[in-house]
Amino acid sequence: MPFFCALAQQKPNVLFIFIDDLNTRLNCYGESHIKSPNIDSLASSGTRFDRAYCQYPSCGPSRASILSGLRPQNTGILDNKTHFRDALPNVVTLPQHFKNNGYFVARVGKVYHQHVPAHIGTSGPDDPMAWSEIYNPIGRDKAEENLLTVYTPQLPLADQMCYLKAEGTDDEQTDGKVVSKTIELLKEKRNQPFMIFAGLYRPHIPYIAPKKYFDLYDLDKVKLPEIAPNYRSLVPEAALASTSDWPNFGTTAQQAKECIQAYDACVSFVDAQVGRLLKSLDDLKLRENTIVILASDHGYHLGEHGLWRKNTLFEESTRTPLIISAPGITGNTFAKPVEFLNIYPTLAELAGLKTPTQVEGKSMVQLMKNPESNWQEPAFSQTKFRKAPGYSVRTEKWRYVEWGKNGESGKELYNCSEDPQELNNLADSKEFKEVQIKLAQLIQRNWYKQ
């Protein structure tokens, strides 16, 4: 038997599908109007983590945390400007760990932070030591940005509410090219252990997808979340700071609905690309020995609380899809909160690798095998956007947020079991005083008593 064939049987492959700005607006997460059959199929065959939370709802800090296995306060990366290796010169990253253990490791598209759409077609602030090979596809979406319908020209392109119903085919788009190149690598490296990251750029702004995906969604049926007239007075100022010109960046209801339709179209476009990857694994008979993980870097607002994009500590911004399909583990759902910090040790254990001592997360393999496992770990998220820094702890029932140290700039408390949209702020309510004290102690332990 050839050496690589024997090695491949001993080591499972890894296909990491890393999607930019994808929230849980998917059929398999309960949004029945969304056309996401391929992601739904992966969820049914793997483990769908129903309550997975990022550690920082912004691209750079979140990706650095996921790939290093460290919390943002320990990576030192709390913005999209700090270069990854400037802050972490000696850390052994997830792809680097697999490379050090004999894997072919490749990046196609966005994995570490890149400014989108400016860095499409470039490596951006990448980490070259992590990869055996890198590829930076660029499609017609980058060339056609001048065709966008733009409703917030006062904002930079990366933040604008804008969209394009693109002409042409899927494989002319950047994400189509990312997938085509990934499939080439799957074919080329199928006889040796590989870890390949397919970094997809949509549904990140600008919302660009071929016209046929817009046609999947009737604009007349798109709903813009309602906001109570006095809502702004019910939460700390910092909670809404991520959306200047609140609500909805000053757009009309019709304009906002068009952008929601465009986001959904991008989700279905991305789902189609995921389908191409999964079909390729099946065609190459690699599925039985390949760990497939699908994740985003953070969640995304589409008008909830009057907010758009990310950088908040509400459920929509911190909760993120996470699906892991692994050989020998049957499909199931794990319902309790987990952190994205756990991805690194989980993939290491699934591959039979020892997890580096630096890694702060915990493996979730046992949860994948037995979703009834006893698991009481809270999920911690943090952010800072224009106003005071915010710190959040999410348990099975509650979310508690402090803005500024000890909540000096405001507090939020939500009973997520009864108020899943987090609209009724119970902070400082006498009825829930003991709950708030216990949750505040968790925040103290995580951020201030290390």
Residues known to be catalytic: 59, 113
Q: Is 339 helix (H, G, I), strand (E, B) or coil?
A: strand
Q: Using CA atoms, how far apart are residues 373 and 84, in angstroms rounded to an integer? A: 35
Q: In angstroms, rounded to a whole number, what is the distance separating the alpha carbons of residues 73 and 91?
A: 15
Q: How far apart are CA 212 and CA 165, in angstroms?
A: 8
Contact of 202 with 137, CB cutoff 8 Å: no
CA 1 to chain centre: 40
166: nearest Cα among 226, 235, 213, 109: 213
DSSP 201: -
Which H helix or E strand runs over 413? strand 411-415
Task: State both tokens at 132.
Answer: 């055996």
Dist CA 17 CA 190 (whole Å)? 17
Residue 373 CA to residue 386 CA, distance in Å, equals 40
Q: How far is CA 325 from the centre of its chain?
A: 17
Contact 398, 422 (CB under 8 A): no
What is the layout of strands, in order, in the sheet containing 194-200? 133-135, 104-109, 194-200, 13-19, 290-296, 322-325, 47-53, 332-339
**How far is residue 138's CA from residue 135's CA, in Å, rounded to a whole number?**
10
> Roughly what angle, to the nearest 10 degrees, separates helices 174-188 and 253-283?
10
Upper half-sphere CA count for residue 338 (Cβ side, 13 Å): 33
What is the signed CA dihedral for 37, 300, 318, 96, rounded to 10 degrees? 70
- Burial category of 80 from C-beta neighbours within 10 Å (exposed 0-12, middle 13-18, buried 19 and up): middle
Encoded tokens for 169: 């085919």
